A and B are shown apart, each in its own frame.
Chain A
Amino acid sequence: MPRSTPDPRGVKKLRAIQRAFATGIMRPLASGHRMQSKWIDGKSARRAVAEFIKPNDRLSSFERLEIYNKQYWFRLLDSLHEDFPGLRTLIGEDRFYDLSIAYLTKHPSDSFTLRDLGRHLEKYLANEPRWTASHRELARDIVRLEWAHIVAFDGEAFLPLEIDTLLDGGDPAQLKLGLQPCITFLACAYPVDDFILTVRRREEPRGEASNAMNERVQRKAPKKFARPQPEKIWLAVHRSNNAVYYKRLEEPAYLICSALQKGLPLHAACERAFRRRKTGPDFGTKLQGWFAQWASFGWFYRVE
């Protein structure tokens, strides 16, 4: 089988075409879901697109690229729409739509999977507080929980340690325990777990797609939800038997778990909790109960 080496000039030309194409389709749509009439250099987009795309007897070059421009945005907006129902409910569908466009313009997808599309959203909102103005802290808690849900759904997990292994592992004070990377521990200023669970119950999953394209999905008008009132909570967003759960923790438990997840040895993690919180005489029994429960959830693995 003859093998020819690709001509670097040909590949360079191909790259130039791909950059022009991507530039066209990744720019936000104009009103009426039309492609923007000006190209990035401020000149006519019709003329710019005609330089690399042929027209046919029914569609201009511009209209042909516009099909891809629409599909790009419909696909990505649908993905964020599904991944962040809580934030969408909080700030409203229209504002969420505008936020999504602004976010994706600033952070185009940098992963082969749409699953990662929202991974910069918390940071983006911290830098762009105008989107969540009057309920910034609540929005932050919601986004963190919704991203933690995605991580818990299919994130990495190692072989869990059983409780017996935990107890038989030598000096427990020196035991270096790892907490599964798919678990996220959150300290929240609002009870966003109840809020998200209520919102998720009314959501329907998106269909999968391979080579498929879809016209914009018409969304139902959102139901009104009572906005959560401030209340400090500590959460573990974890996976058990392949389902995602939000488990409320007491503050010392949260402190221990988050310290363990940062790589602190067991005794140091516990000391951290003791230092930060006054503990009663029954704290030892409580601690034992927590560890037994967490081990039964499969949260621990042995760090070699």
Chain B
Amino acid sequence: MPANRFNNFTNYGIGIGLRVPHYQHILSQKPTVDWFEIISENYMVDAGRPLKVLDQILEQYRVVQHGVAMYLGSTDGLDREHLRRLKRLVKRTNTPWLSDHLCWGSVDGRYTHDLLPLPYTFATAAHVAQRIREVRDYLEVPILVENVSSYAEFCASEMSEWEFLSEVVEKADAGILLDVNNIYVSSQNHNFNPYDYLNHIPHDRVGQIHIAGHSKFEKYILDTHDHPVLDPVWKMYAHVTKLTGPTATLLEWDDRIPSFDEVHREALKAGKFCKELLHAPVHA
């Protein structure tokens, strides 16, 4: 697994998202899992069961924090209370890196609780990059930004999504959490070739990969995280791992969550691609 400065020079393997329906199984059966990803906001509470369970998980497993509410692309000021709680959690988990989305979700103090797309402009990229630097300076942990799935494109956009992502991470000197499923979903919704995306991002900045399932509707695809990973996404995953090298990978399954074993089995399929890479002949 390539260790780089964006994932704090770690070699994590295949992880799965820590979800409430699996708490009991994990704590009682103690399955072998490379690492768990937690949704930071679920544990940015003062006390109670969420933190108790997290502490028990931390005794046995490596944990990485993934956020859904930092809203790096919002134009409201950074939410200092949110950051304070996040930092407290970072100290608790000792997460080697921290990720959140390249999106916005609040304006004028009103929260949509959604990961909304940004217009792909140079001005937006500079704005987001500055916020990422501020957040990183405060949290003192490497930041990875994740590409979101989207259903709308802005008239104001000046570049493709992968150019925008590249512009942001270069300006912020940040890493990428590459969500392969999100690229597939957006490629279908916006008619672009997902391999153009995979081929044109700075591969040396990819610190983690997400895979997940989605749902097809008549005129668009929704990023539902309620299915196994579909074949086109596995093919893209295989392709991108050849470009990045085997990278810490996380399966997201957030709705209609099956048994822990089923989720784990699905996640471990990713290991097959990584093993093939490790055993592939080296070409000069």
Contact = CB atoms under 8 A, between A and B. Distances in A.
Contacts of A30: none
A242 B127 CA distance: 42
Given A154-B45, A154-B48, A54 B254 contact: no
A282 interface: no
A4 B124 CA distance: 12
A230 interface: no
B223 A19 contact: no
Nearest to A9: B123
Interface string A10-23: 11011101110110
A284 interface: no
A286 B116 CA distance: 58
Contacts of B256: 207
Give the interface size class of chain B: 35 or more
Interface string B98-141: 00010010111111111110110111101101100100000000
Which of B122, B126, B129, B170 has the largest number of chain A CB atoms within 10 A? B126
A7 B73 CA distance: 14
A173 interface: no
Contacts of B21: 207
Interface stretch (B4-12, B151-159, B195-203, B266-274): B151-159
Contacts of A212: 212, 223-226, 252, 254-255
Nearest to B42: A208
B130 A5 contact: yes
A68 B68 CA distance: 16
Contact of B119 (A6, A17, A67): A17
Given A4-B171, A10-B121, A212-B254, A53 B47 contact: no
A51 to B, nearest CB: 7
Contacts of A243: 49
Interface stretch (B74-82, B87-95, B231-239, B275-283): B74-82
A125 interface: no
A172 interface: no
Contacts of A9: 123
A182 B47 contact: yes
B126 A211 contact: no
Nearest to A156: B46
A226 to B, nearest CB: 31
A168 interface: no
Contacts of A207: 19, 21, 254-257
A204 B190 CA distance: 36
Contacts of A114: 113
Given A13-B156, A208-B42, A18 B74 contact: yes
A154 B46 contact: yes
Interface stretch (A89-97, A105-113, A129-137, A252-260): A105-113
18 contacts: A14-B119, A15-B75, A26-B112, A58-B219, A61-B152, A67-B220, A67-B222, A108-B110, A111-B111, A113-B41, A157-B47, A207-B257, A208-B20, A210-B66, A211-B149, A211-B182, A215-B224, A242-B49
Interface of A: 1-7, 9-11, 13-15, 17-19, 21-22, 25-26, 51-54, 56-59, 61, 63-65, 67-68, 71-72, 75-76, 79, 108-115, 153-157, 182, 205, 207-215, 239, 242-243
Interface of B: 17, 19-21, 39, 41-42, 44-52, 66, 68-69, 73-75, 79, 82, 101, 104, 106-116, 118-119, 121-124, 126-127, 129-130, 133, 146, 148-149, 151-156, 170-171, 173, 179, 182, 189-191, 212, 215, 219-220, 222-226, 252, 254-257
